[in-house]
Every structure is written in C-alpha cells, then in structure tokens.
C-alpha cells in the first residue's frame, strides 16, 4: 500500500509540473533557453538510459523466466515496440497546429500590450491543453508502474517527466493569455492539463490491478520502455534543440545518462 501511495504521489508531482511552465510567466520576463535546453536534454538522457539499461532489461528478465530465453525476448521486444506505436498513434491523432510541443517563450506574454479576445488563440490553447492531457495519460501510467516496481527508479522517471512537462505548460499558457489577457486563467488551464497524468495512472492501475501478474507486469514494463524512448526522441530532444544550441542539448543528454548510470551503480 505504501508503494502505491508513493507511486501515485510521484505521478502527481510529474503531471502537475505543467504548472511550473505556466508560473514562469509570473516571475520571469524571458525563458532561460540554455538552461531549459540542457534540462530537457538531461531529462532525455535519464529516460533513454533507464529505458534501455534498466526497464527493458527487467522486463526481458521477467518474461524469459516464464517463457524461456527465445520467447521471452520476443515478447519483450514486441511489447517495447507496442509502446512506441501507442505514442505514435496518439501523436497522429493530434493536428500539428495544436501540437503541445510547439516552442514557446514566456516573453511572449508581454509581446502584446492589450491581448485581445481571439477565439483562434483560445482554441489553440485549449487544444494544446487537451493534447497534453492525451499525451500525459500513458506517461502517467509509465511513471506509476515504474515507481510501483522500484521507488528509486520511479523518482528518477518522475523528475525527468516533470522537466519535460515545463515547456508543455508554456505551450498552453501563452495562447490562452493572448486570447484572454488573464494570467490566472492561463495558469489554471495549464495546471489542470497536467492532472491527466495521475488520472492515467489511477485509471490504468484500476483497470489492470486484477490482471497484474508476472507476465502482465513484464509486458507493461517493456511497453513503458518504448513509451519513454518515443517521448525522448520525438519530444524532449527536438524541444531541447529549439530552446538552445545543439551541443547544449547533447551535453545535457550525456549528463543525464551519466547521472542515471552513477545512481544505478551506487544503488546496485
């Protein structure tokens, strides 16, 4: 029970960090693009390393123990790519103009002296919030399942997801603020969009709880690895490069891998 509460708390923290991106508008005039680029690269490094080295390996070990080396490895690989396909299909259903990973700068909050009531901008902000909600649903399940299996691993993933949610919060806030001129409304919509992450964890766990056994766990864990690899390559790294220079993103990536590797070694 303690593990379930902790896993849900970490998922809640990761999801609601969309509010951090929105809150930046209250305290800063301009995004620290180099820092955010490095942080996003760092987050990608953590997620890629832990997906390939820890999560995929654990899923393979579990399934091979049940089905043997050949079938176990095959089922792990299929589940891994199923996770990638799930995220790709979610992306495919969202129109590109409402893509929640569109680059935004908090300085845009001040670009117009009198933001007008613009239905198109409001629509963009609301669709961005909806798109983020859809994206965060499987991310929430991924964070929750990882934390349930290993709280330390779950903490690392939750922090990585939280960093990746910051620019998503900005993507919701900027157009809504443009449309309404209301910072509070922009913040609330951004903050609320992150609730789908713990909601995804809650619904996923409720639906799967009765069916969770060693086989189901191995398959879900492998799919989680695929989901996080897709997030890293399709969302984190491209956004990191938009916010900063290529090498800053790559240095952050290497740093994230190194920190994750060191933490796993120390905890081994």
Q: What is the pLDDT of residues 219-249, one digit of tens each?
A: 988 998 998 899 889 878 887 887 667 888 8
- Write down the mean pLDDT value for the chain: 78
Query: Comparing 27-41, 196-210, 244-258, which segment has the lowest mean pLDDT?
Result: 27-41
The string of pLDDT tens digits covering residues 117-139 is 456 556 656 666 666 667 677 77
pLDDT of residue 124: 59
**Can you give the pLDDT at residue 156?**
83
Question: Which residues are CB-contacts of 264 (< 8 A; sequence separation ≥ 6)?
Answer: 50, 53, 54
Percent residues over pLDDT 90 in the chain: 17
Backbone φ/ψ region at 237: left (φ over 0), alpha (ψ -120 to 50), beta? alpha
Residue 112's pLDDT band (boundaries 50, 70, 90)?
very low
Which residues are CB-contacts of 203 (< 8 A; sequence separation ≥ 6)? none
Nearest to 61 by CA among 218, 265, 220, 213: 218
The pLDDT tens digits of the residues spanning 151-196 come to 888 888 888 888 877 777 777 777 677 667 677 777 887 777 778 8
pLDDT over threshold 50, residue 58 = yes
pLDDT of residue 253: 94
Beta-carbon count within 10 A of 232 CB: 25
Q: What is the pLDDT of residue 117?
A: 45
Residue 96 has pLDDT above 60, yes or no: no
Select the more confidently predicted residue: 222 or 40.
222
Q: How many residues does the chain have?
A: 268
pLDDT at residue 77 in the model: 97
CB atoms within 10 A of CB 1: 5
Determine the pLDDT at residue 250: 92
The predicted pLDDT at position 209 comes to 72
Assign 3-class secondary structure to the chain: CHHHHHHHHHHHHHHHCHHHHHHHHHHCCCCCHHHHHHHHHHHHHHHHHHHHHHHHHHHHHHHHHHHCHHHHHHHHHHHHHHHHHHHHHHHHHCCHHHCCCCCCCHHHHHCCCCCCCCHHHHHHHHHHHHHHHHHHHHHHHHHHHHHHHCHHHHHHHHHHHHHHHHHHHHHHHHHHHHHHCCHHHHHHHHHHHCCHHHHHHHHHHHHHHHHCCHHHHHHHHHHHHHHHHHHHHHHHHHHHHHHCCHHHHHHHHHHHHHHHHHHHHHHC
Say if residues 245 and 35 touch (Cβ distance below 8 Å): no
Report how far residue 29's alpha carbon sits from residue 17's, in angstroms, rounded to the nearest whole number: 19
- d(CA 100, CA 265) in angstroms, rounded, equals 35
- Higher-pLDDT residue of 207 and 41 is 41
Q: Are 60 and 72 in contact (CB under 8 A)?
A: yes
pLDDT given at position 110: 52
């Amino acid at each position: 029970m303690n593990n379930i509460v902790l896993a849900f708390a970490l998922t809640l923290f990761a999801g609601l960090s969309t509010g951090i991106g929105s809150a930046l508008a209250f305290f800063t005039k301009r995004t620290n693009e180099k820092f955010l680029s490095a942080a996003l690269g760092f987050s990608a490094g953590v997620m890629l390393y832990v997906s390939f080295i820890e999560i995929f390996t654990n899923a393979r070990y579990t399934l091979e123990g049940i089905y043997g080396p050949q079938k176990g490895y095959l089922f792990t690989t299929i589940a891994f790519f199923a996770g990638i396909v799930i995220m790709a299909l979610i992306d495919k259903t969202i129109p590109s103009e409402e893509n929640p990973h569109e680059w935004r700068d908090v300085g845009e909050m001040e670009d117009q002296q009198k933001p007008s009531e613009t239905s198109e901008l409001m629509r963009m902000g609301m669709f961005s919030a909806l798109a983020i909600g859809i994206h965060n649903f499987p991310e929430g399940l991924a964070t929750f399942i990882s934390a349930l299996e290993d709280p330390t691993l779950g903490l690392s993933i939750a922090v990585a997801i939280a960093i990746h949610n910051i620019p998503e919060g900005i993507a919701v806030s900027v157009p809504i603020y443009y449309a309404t001129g209301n910072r509070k409304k922009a913040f609330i919509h951004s903050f609320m969009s992150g609730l789908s992450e713990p909601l995804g964890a809650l619904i996923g766990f409720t639906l799967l709880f009765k069916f969770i056994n060693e086989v189901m766990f191995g398959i879900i864990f492998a799919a989680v690895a695929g989901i996080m690899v897709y997030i890293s390559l399709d969302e984190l790294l491209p956004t990191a490069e938009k916010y900063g220079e290529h090498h800053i993103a790559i240095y952050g990536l290497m740093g994230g891998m190194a920190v994750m590797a060191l933490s796993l070694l120390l905890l081994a």
